[in-house]
Amino acid sequence: MINRLADRIEEALRRDATGRLPALPFPLPEALTPLRLPGLEPVDLNPPASSNPRIAVVTALLVPPVALGSCSPTGGGESVDPHPFDCQVLLIKRAEHGRHGGQIALPGGKVEGNETSQETAIRELHEELGFHAADPEHEIRFVGSLDAAYVPASNFLVQVLVAVAPQTPQITPDPREVAETLGAELGLFDPRHEVHVIDAKEQGQLLRYGVIPVPGERRVWGLTARLLCELASRLAQA
């Protein structure tokens, strides 16, 4: 079952001969672009021409659903074969210190030396969450990637890998980096859903931005919300 699901996800993320992903089936909500208050100027999410951004890698690790059909595109119902929306994506709450402290995020970090993206992803999963994604016992399969995304606040260009696992690996978070872990069904990030909009101060700036509630009375916003909405859009018809 998990191999069939991984095949469908890999096909949805397949790039053409020029390295391009297909067009998004469903556009991302406009509310996911933060606005600066009081004038509501959109935050520019493109790297400046003069910048030399640092490179980081995050992993969207999808694990089997708790209940088949619970987050399917049709809104539920029995299913023999899970839809990607039913899968849970592994999220972390970052430790409070640091620029992005306390935020809900995908596990990952900056590239070191001459690492490939996958080598960085594997190392960061081990450092942050205590399991080795390359160990055959976990049967973790990297199935594709999204386009890199820029984070203006920290000048990082973030590469996004997508992986699938037949079960959630045993997790031992490093408390220096991870305050807690949680899983959220990918279907919660279906871009066709309404996005809640709030005003809040983030890293010294007053912003208006869209948030997506997840279990545990948490909310996902910013880069993580945009990436997961893009992933959900690409997998909606998988």
For residue 35, being part of any structural domain is answered with no
Query: Residue 201 CA to chain centroid, in angstroms?
Result: 23
Q: Residue 129: give its domain's CATH number.
A: 3.90.79.10
The tokens describing 189, both together, are 């990030």
Mean pLDDT of 9-33: 96
Band of pLDDT at residue 2, cut at 50, 70 and 90? confident
The tokens describing 72, both together, are 């399917």
Residue 151 has pLDDT above 60, yes or no: yes
Number of domains within the chain? 1
Quote the domain boundaries for residue 17.
Answer: 2-30+49-191+222-235
For residue 215, being part of any structural domain is answered with no
Mean pLDDT for the chain?
A: 91
For residue 37, being part of any structural domain is answered with no
The amino acid that residue 114 corresponds to is N
Choose the weakest-confidence range: 82-96, 106-120, 221-235: 82-96
pLDDT digits over 58-104, tens only? 999 999 866 565 566 655 455 567 789 989 999 999 998 766 678 99
The amino acid that residue 162 corresponds to is V
In degrees, to the nearest 5, what angle opens at C-alpha 64 toward C-alphas 92 and 178? 10
Contact 176, 168 (CB under 8 A): no
> What is the reported pLDDT for 152?
87
For residue 67, being part of any structural domain is answered with yes
- Give this prediction's pTM: 0.93
- CA-to-CA distance for 213 and 137, rounded, in angstroms? 33
For residue 71, being part of any structural domain is answered with yes
